[in-house]
Amino acid sequence: MTPPDHPRPHTGLPAPQRPDLPADPRERWPHLRRVGIRLPLREYLRELWRRREFAITVPLGELKAQNQDSALGQVWHLLNPLLLIAVYYLIFGVLLQVEDRRGVENYLPFLIVGVIVFDFTRSSIQAGARMIVKNRKLVQSINFPRAILPLSAIVSEAISHLYAIPIMLVLVTLVQGGPTPQWTWLLLLVVFVLQSMFNLGISMVVARLSFHFRDVQQLLPFILRLYFYSSGVLIPINNEIIPNQTLVTILQLNPAYLIVEMAREAVLVGPLDPQVWLLGAAWSVAMLVGGFWFFRAAENEYGRV
């Protein structure tokens, strides 16, 4: 449906003529470049790097703004997962007694690591999903590589997560059955890097999807909840719990499960399983590359009203 045509106003001036242009004006004027095409990858990455300051300042301002909203401010970022842990422990640990019945040893440390590590991915996806829609005005005003928006969301979540890690470590040593500090804890840094890469990749995918379909943001909490339950955060994924071997294998190949598993092996006394670490690293790299590619494919669309 098009609006009715309006009569041209009477200008008293000659109607503007389309200038006489060659099919490609660059033939006549080689200094011209086409507007509205994507930068080649290398230039794109260089522009991204030039604006690194911007990618960090935005999330810092955001964190500060969140601070001012509620009385406990930033503390909520940490309090939230802790309260969740308490609730899950009450239900799964105390009421359902998974510890005795399902062959899970030391359920509380297992739960603490799982919830805090998974929460980094959950909050990253949620924050990344909003970035394009929320910053529409910015996108329509300034030319910059749009990937900086999901990137700054992940930077912000990563900073929060860096506060949560020491708290998690203190907590696991305090509770019953927890480990004592050990060298493998340093591997948490590797997990952190891999998880940040994975989060950035997946939130670029979600950012583009929720730009095309606003419903994605409504669906997201449910999808994330499902993902939470199928990533072995609450209950280990093994044949004790799930009899179907194929299903167990599929669930064990899922990246969030691998990330949580890597963190548990590093923090708790579990032996390191090289297969888990290799698969986890492969997923992170693939997700980052694939997510970036998917996001950038619509680079020039994000300004659409």
Partner 1 sequence: MAVSEPATVSVSAGDPTVVADRVDITYRIYADSAPKLRKAFVRDRRQREYRAVEAVRDVSFVARSGEAIGIVGHNGSGKSTLLRGIAGLVPITRGDVYASSIPVLLGVAAALEPDLSGRRNVLLGGTALGIRREELEERFEEIVEFAGVEEFIDLPLRAFSSGMRSRLQFAIATAVTPEILMVDESLSTGDAEFKERSDERIRGMLDDAGTVFLVSHTMRSIRDVCTRVLWLDHGRLVADGDTDQVVDAYERHMGDLKRRRRKRGKRPPPETR
59 touches partner 1 (CB under 8 A): no
Angle, helix 274-296 to helix 255-267, in steps of 10 degrees: 140
Per-residue contact flags (x/-) with partner 1 for residues 125 to 144, judged by CB under 8 A: ----------x-xxxxxxxx
| Minimum separation from the CB atom of position 33 to partner 1 (A) | 6
Place of tokens 């949620």: 126
Find the part of the chain contacting partner 1 (CB under 8 A) among 17-25, 91-99, 104-112, 279-287. Answer: 17-25
Is 44 a residue that touches partner 1 (CB under 8 A)?
A: yes
**47 binds partner 1, rule: CB under 8 A:** yes
In the complex, minimum distance from the CB of residue 129 to partner 1, in angstroms, rounded to a whole number: 14
Q: Which of 77, 130, 146, 208 binds partner 1 (CB under 8 A)?
A: 146
Task: Name the one residue in this structure whose structure tokens are 């948490």.
Answer: 188
What is the DSSP code (8-state) at residue 147? T
- Minimal distance in Å, beta carbon 265 to partner 1? 39
Kindly state the greatest CA–CA separation across the chain.
Answer: 91
Annotate 82-101 with b (16+ C-beta within 10 A) or e (fewer): bebbeebbeebbeeeebbee
Report if residue 185 touches partner 1, rule: CB under 8 A.
no
The phi, psi pair for 253, rounded to 5°, reads -90, -5
What DSSP letter does each residue of 58-84 carry, written as one string? HHHHHHHHHHHHSSSTTHHHHHHHHHH
In the structure encoding, which two tokens stand for residue 281, read together? 């690293």
Minimum Å gap between C-beta 280 and partner 1 is 31
- Give min distance, CB of 74 to partner 1, in A: 15
Q: Which of residues 64-123 bind partner 1 (CB under 8 A)?
A: 64-65, 68
> Nearer to partner 1 by C-beta: 206 or 258?
206
> Total number of residues binding partner 1 (CB under 8 A)?
62
Of the residues 216, 242, 251, 269, which one makes contact with partner 1 according to CB under 8 A: 216
92, 96, 103: which is closest to 229 by C-alpha?
Answer: 92
In angstroms, rounded to a whole number, what is the distance separating the alpha carbons of residues 186 and 188? Answer: 5
Using DSSP, state whether 102 is helix, strand or coil.
coil
Task: Figure out which of the listed residues 180, 186, 214, 222 binds partner 1, where binding follows CB under 8 A.
Answer: 214
Amino acid identity for residue 294 in this structure = F
Binding positions for partner 1, rule: CB under 8 A:
1-3, 6, 8-13, 15-16, 18-19, 21, 25-26, 29, 31-39, 43-44, 47, 50-51, 53-54, 57-58, 61, 64-65, 68, 135, 137-146, 212-216, 299-301, 303-305
